[in-house]
Structure 1
């Protein structure tokens, strides 16, 4: 990346007085992650898999166009994300609408556009049934893909706010011995209900919980199909959520590789691979996280009180790194330091300074990170926050009305040239 930083900061001067911070999205890395997923879980042909990208991870249009170019679909957590995906010409059959809180208007749009829709609860099923009874005369009912999200209750990982398969989860209908018959009856009641969906969590959830959830899902699928006289469900959505690493530089942790995930699924839920049903995945963070980097200028350094760590003041803070600011023990990013021309600064032996890095907001808690040991920083240097391709750009806050960073897609072409494309202009 050294030559890329030099081109961006020195040759093109993309960070300047009017643009003190930018986001970069590495298309080479992103495409390599998608290629890795598709090589392990092929799409099309004799494979049942349809891969979708979790739009909430990074909704930047240039990123989504790269997703579409790779043949993936779009997993959408809101009707606005659905409309964004459709505006970019994603095939409706590859747009998955998973909001846990849909209005009648949301459901009408989903039905009219023909996207795949996963319902969260019995009230949403009632709304769909009403819509089909009153406004569905022009719809081909058999062409619809409508699933129900169940909560397999396999437990959670080490980040409570991301655990979606505990008894206290707000998502889906809990599947256990005393609720199983009720859920089976819903599949009997609503003949148009032809899919099923799980998503057990995200970062911090161990692989075995994803596998256990899928096994429980497929066991229940067999019961649904038996109850329906052998009629096979159209879609089985196993969600996404595989963890990645905020510590390792360029590779994923061995315990969360796609190949290991497939091996464990083949052992525990072989019916998933029998090609009888369309199988949907919804990966986000594991594809995009390490494709992103945030570059922000060292605005100044405040160092007045000897017993207080010097404070680097910079132009990005809690406005873009919400989780990192409020939950610093859970969320953190690697940070490196460049000079103004893009050259990596390195610590000499026994040298370097421990800093606190503060953002620009009018809020004392606005710190990107505390106790960061870096080479000696100077005004005009550039901080690089690594692994910001997912759940950073998408979580931007308007607090203090600070303008969000410009986003550039970067790609090293086969001839070695660097392509820089503006994915999101300055507002």
Structure 2
């Protein structure tokens, strides 16, 4: 085995320690997600404090991690919710987030979803096209209630992130142009059933550059000024989310600098700022645990085969994303390059490629770091694999927050039709 002397095994992030993770793996099995609720609270508090005394509402983006216990923790901190489906709205309410702190985004809302959101009485619906706005108006008229809306404006600014998670360029499917937005606001303003109260932009996820965010805020603030001049009473300025986290060696945006850049562009606007962090709050607050099953050498290529797979954590396969992978059992510093791969019948089934790992024993547990966001929420049952369990750590105690699925869970909706 080649000795890579210049490299060290990366240390665990957050408040996790190896003994705690070993205990979680022993008590609940692998593969397994572990969430640090104390760290989630810290990250939420950082974002809230960054905006100081300004009128601000933090609306956690449920798509990052929609576990009910995670949402309940954030609800206890007075968080709102950014939802992109009716299911997420229902999860938010079930976990204790007040309806008046819930916003509904997404490009493909259906009439029944819009109607239910209106019945519930959420804060507002973020509309993403003129056709969608007209559907919202029709639903509101049918129910006999006004629909509070915001319009998502696409500022056409490069967010400098992965193309799959870029949302603020004109070639992206999200939002409308500034010129189209102006016309939509005027239509809504004169509608009996639409109440335009917000303006929204979100240029992408895993953002590590502040300049594109500030440029976007400047463009949308100019639009807000023009709307207010037309007596369109905008009350909310929704800046989206997207602040990146450290997976490897990224230089991330300081929340205070982020807030100050936004506030600088909003001078002269007395609006409530809505921020929609997801990954920032939960990303580094979660770890994915997986067990070594087998190891093999194929010519000069080393493979570590584990029980976790792309159906559990798809980010490496889907985005070519990097996650640090840490062995919990060994202190050996003799490292060699390996691909960490899963049992799924796909060449793209891997958790890490060319990862420096020490000599391992079958049965050892590996921790895949920074897995709290877009991990379980993107999991599937591909290859008829039951989804793994989720546990939470709070004040040093570990508890189950979602039990492991079994094959019965996978076939319950089908077996009656055999």
Q: TM-score range by the shorter chain?
A: 0.7 to 0.9
**Is 1:380 equivalent to 2:363 in the alignment?**
yes
Q: Which residue of 1 aligns with 2:392?
A: 409
Under a length normalisation based on structure 1, what TM-score does the superposition of the two structures give? 0.86
**Is 1:117 equivalent to 2:114 in the alignment?**
no
After TM superposition, the structure 1 = structure 2 runs for residues 61-210 of structure 1, keeping only pairs within 5 Å, are 61-115=68-122, 116-136=124-144, 139=145, 141=146, 145-176=148-179, 179=180, 181-190=182-191, 192-204=195-207, 206-210=209-213
Judge conservation of contact 2:164–2:319 (CA < 8 Å) in 1: no
Q: Which residue of 1 aligns with 2:233?
A: 232
Judge conservation of contact 2:51–2:260 (CA < 8 Å) in 1: no
Deviation string 1:331-370 (CA, Å, 9 cap, x unpaired) is 110011122xxxxx2333xx22322211011223212112
Judge conservation of contact 1:153–1:175 (CA < 8 Å) in 2: no
Q: Which residue of 1 aligns with 2:312?
A: 320
Under a length normalisation based on structure 2, what TM-score does the superposition of the two structures give? 0.87
- Of 301, 309, 313 in structure 1, the residue corresponding to residue 301 of structure 2 is 309
Q: Which residue of 1 aligns with 2:4?
A: none
Q: Over the residues paired in the alignment, what is the CA RMSD in angstroms?
A: 2.1
Judge conservation of contact 1:218–1:271 (CA < 8 Å) in 2: no
Distance 1:262 1:105 in 2: 36
Distance 2:364 2:84 in 1: 38
Distance 1:11 1:409 in 2: 9
Quote how far apart the aligned CAs of 1:68 are. Answer: 0.5
Quote how far apart the aligned CAs of 1:98 are. Answer: 0.5
Query: Structure 1 186/317 Cα, relative in aligned 2: closer, same or farther at 3 Å?
Result: same
SS of 1:31's equivalent in the other structure is helix
- Of 239, 255, 259 in structure 1, the residue corresponding to residue 256 of structure 2 is 259
Quote how far apart the aligned CAs of 1:184 are. Answer: 4.7
**Is 1:246 equivalent to 2:247 in the alignment?**
yes
After TM superposition, the structure 1 = structure 2 runs for residues 345-424 of structure 1, keeping only pairs within 5 Å, are 345-348=330-333, 351-411=334-394, 413=395, 418-424=396-402
**How many pairs were matched up?**
389
Distance 2:101 2:207 in 1: 28
Q: Which residue of 2 aligns with 1:288?
A: 282
Quote how far apart the aligned CAs of 1:187 are. Answer: 4.1
List, as ranges, runs of 4+ consecutive aligned residues in structure 1 with deviation greater than 4 Å.
1-4
Query: Structure 1 388/3 Cα, relative in aligned 2: closer, same or farther at 3 Å?
Result: closer
Distance 1:184 1:12 in 2: 53
Query: Structure 1 4/242 Cα, relative in aligned 2: closer, same or farther at 3 Å?
Result: closer
Judge conservation of contact 1:187–1:224 (CA < 8 Å) in 2: no
Judge conservation of contact 2:39–2:285 (CA < 8 Å) in 1: yes
SS of 2:240's equivalent in the other structure is coil
SS of 1:224's equivalent in the other structure is helix
SS of 1:271's equivalent in the other structure is coil
- Mean Cα deviation higher: 94-103 or 189-198: 189-198
Judge conservation of contact 1:313–1:357 (CA < 8 Å) in 2: yes
**Is 1:60 equivalent to 2:67 in the alignment?**
yes
Query: Structure 1 7/101 Cα, relative in aligned 2: closer, same or farther at 3 Å?
Result: closer
Deviation string 1:37-64 (CA, Å, 9 cap, x unpaired) is 111124xxx6310101100000011111
Distance 2:112 2:187 in 1: 23
